[in-house]
Amino acid sequence: MISYWQELLKPLPPLCNDVNVDVAIIGGGYTGLWTAELLSRRGLTVAVLEQEQPGWGASGRNGGLVIPGLAQLYPHVVKTVGQDAAQALYRRTIQAQGLVRQVAAESPHGVDYSEPGSLYLAADQEEWRYLEETKQLLDTMGEPSTLLQDQDIPPSLQHNLRPGGLFMHGDGRIHPLKLIHVLIQRISNRGSGVWGQSRVIGIDETATGVVVSTKRARVSADHVIVATNASAMELCPSVAHNIEPVRGQMLVTVPVPKLDYGYPVYADWGYKYWHQRADGRLVIGGWRDLDIPGERGYALRLNPRIQGALQSFAEELVGTPGIIERRWAGTMAFTNDRLPWVGPIRPRTWIAAGFNGHGSTNTVMAAQLMTDVLLDGESWVPELLPRR
Ligand SMILES: Cc1cc2nc3c(=O)[nH]c(=O)nc-3n(C[C@H](O)[C@H](O)[C@H](O)COP(=O)(O)OP(=O)(O)OC[C@H]3O[C@@H](n4cnc5c(N)ncnc54)[C@H](O)[C@@H]3O)c2cc1C
């Protein structure tokens, strides 16, 4: 089962010869590729090893929404880590979005990146209060957002009888596989390598380096970065008991008439999200709250109950049955406090995982942080350390 975006998956050959690089990276998703992009920009050699094909995991199965901030609404993050740390993390995600914007602008064939903003519709009075609080906090950072009520909300969204919504002006969207291809090209142009069909089966750390093994070849490096999303526990059993694999369901419709709003919408505490692509296709995901226990685990399977709800919503939105083009599922990695893990688990073995369904900017933030630590001697962010 592949996603709509994964129709553009391109097979890459496996690594068949031993190589020496500065940094070995395990996992060819956003985390691994962005880390390879930023390290190779600074002159390091990297080898990215992907067990399937780059973009096979969550990075090729997501909604394509590029959203600064963290997985939780901002007031939740403040409660977890305090105001100063929450602001600092939020700023890192805004910088990360800047990197996405820059790579998109430099892409010769484009990655379908735009910043139409997005609307967060409150499910109830409690979420509305959170959105009001979010706005106050964003104001203090100079991040543009607007509270919308009744008449400001597009007519087709008003029937939901909600207290209102918060429009975030800077939010973006992208074609995930196009971005992945651009990153691979940029990394390869600098003399580094990305390999498919190269499942890592062992990491051996010594006093002077690491050796990363696949069935066919070995990569010797100064450091290794484990960027394998919810599979982190396979290679790092000592820490990953706190990362939970959680499925997300999505579908895309055939091209349908234009909606009366041209930006993505999130509703009900982020459990529902949808947007319309320039070609008229609707991309719809979420509704996980309908079956939270049933959506735990690694298996990439469709959930009939949730897929049924996605379909009903699509048909209601458009007013026509029979419009579903493709359905898929993907695996997210959830942490206990809903903050990612970025840091060392051994001196030369680092992990970046647990993006809680919010990876398009947070994986870039992780890649930037690891680059800063490795090349500029910056400190790790305590709130993101795997053993916090
Ligand atoms: C349905 C769904 C919708 C989402 N929507 C959004 C969204 O709209 N916006 C947003 O910001 N985020 C979204 N997310 C979250 C986002 O996609 C992820 O946080 C992000 O893609 C994680 O990137 P990653 O590189 O860490 O993981 P992945 O993309 O999963 O990459 C990890 C890779 O590691 C490989 N791997 C695993 N084990 C090994 C091994 N032993 N050896 C070699 N390779 C290995 C896997 O095959 C995989 O390709 C969504 C996620 C899902 C599932």
- Number of independent structural domains in the chain: 1
- Is the CB–ligand 1 distance for residue 358 below 6 Å? yes
For ligand 1, say whether the CB of 302 is within 6 Å of any of its atoms.
no
**C-alpha 249 – ligand 1 centre gap (Å):** 14
Query: How far is Cα 164 from Cα 16, in angstroms, rounded to an integer?
Result: 56
Specify the amino acid at residue 190: R
Spatial CA neighbour of 113 closest among 170, 151, 154? 170
* Exposed/middle/buried for residue 224 (C-beta within 10 Å: 0-12, 13-18, 19+): buried
pTM: 0.97
pLDDT the model gives residue 238: 76
Contact, 20 vs 218, CB < 8 A? no
Strands 210-214 and 218-221: antiparallel
3-state helix/strand/coil string of 168-223: ECCCEECCHHHHHHHHHHHHHHCCCEEECCCCEEEEEECCCCEEEEECCCEEEECE
pLDDT of residue 239: 72
Residues listed for the chain: 388
Ligand 1 atom at minimal distance to the Cα of residue 248: 1
H or E, element range at 229: none
Tell whether ligand 1 has an atom less than 6 A from the beta carbon of residue 49. yes
For residues 221 and 46, give the distance between their C-alpha atoms in angstroms, rounded to a whole number: 9
Is position 160 within any domain? Answer: no
Helix, strand, or coil (residue 89): helix
Beta bridge partners of 366: none
How confident is the model over 341-371, as pLDDT tens digits?
Answer: 999 999 999 999 999 999 999 999 999 999 9
pLDDT over 70 at 21, yes or no: yes
Cβ of 270 less than 6 Å from ligand 1: no
Binned at pLDDT 50, 70 and 90, residue 241 comes out as low
Spacing, Cα 53 to ligand 1 middle (Å): 12
DSSP H or E run through 241: none
Q: Does residue 90 belong to any structural domain of this protein?
A: yes
- Average pLDDT score, the chain: 95
Nearest CA to ligand 1 atom 5: 62
Q: Give me the helices (H) in the chain, please.
A: 30-41, 74-81, 83-106, 125-140, 155-158, 176-189, 232-235, 304-318, 359-376
Give the span between the Cα atoms of 209 and 214, in whole angstroms: 17
- Helix/strand/coil percentages in the chain, nearest 5: 35, 25, 40
Asked whether 50 lines ligand 1 (CB < 6 A), one says yes
Please determine, for residue 261, whether its predicted confidence score (pLDDT) is greater than 60: yes
Residue 43 falls inside a structural domain: yes
What is the per-residue pLDDT across 156-215, written as a single tens digit (0 to 9) for each?
887 666 788 999 999 999 999 999 999 999 999 999 999 999 999 999 999 899 999 999
Residue 5 located in a structural domain: yes
How far apart are alpha carbons 222 and 381 in whole angstroms? Answer: 22
**Is 40 touching ligand 1 by the criterion CB < 6 Å?**
no
| Pair of tokens at residue 169 | 């002006």
Determine whether the shortest distance from the Cβ of 360 to ligand 1 is under 6 A.
Answer: yes
> At 133, phi and psi to the nearest 5?
-65, -40
pLDDT in tens, 80-103: 999 999 999 999 999 999 999 999
Please check whether residue 308 lies inside any domain of the structure.
no
368 lines ligand 1 (CB under 6 A): no
Residue 230 has pLDDT above 80, yes or no: yes
Residue 52 in any domain: the answer is yes
Q: Note whether 72 and 134 are within 8 A (CB).
A: no
Ligand 1 atom closest to residue 360's alpha carbon, by position in its atom list = 11
Domain assignment present for residue 265? The answer is no
- Reading the block at residue 314, the tokens are 């699509």
Q: What is the pLDDT of residues 266-321, one digit of tens each?
A: 999 999 999 999 999 999 999 999 999 999 999 999 999 999 999 999 999 999 99
CATH of the domain at 344: 3.50.50.60
Rounded distance, CA 245 to CA 384, Å? 19
Nearest CA to ligand 1 atom 16: 359
Cα 85 to ligand 1 centroid, rounded to whole Å: 25
* 324: three-class secondary structure by DSSP: strand
- Name the residue range of residue 344's domain: 1-116+171-241+338-388
Is 156 part of any domain?
no
Categorize the per-residue pLDDT at 240 as very low, low, confident or very high, splitting at 50, 70 and 90. Answer: low
Q: Is residue 171 in contact with ligand 1, taking CB distance under 6 Å?
A: no
Q: For ligand 1, is residue 51 a contact (CB within 6 Å)? A: yes
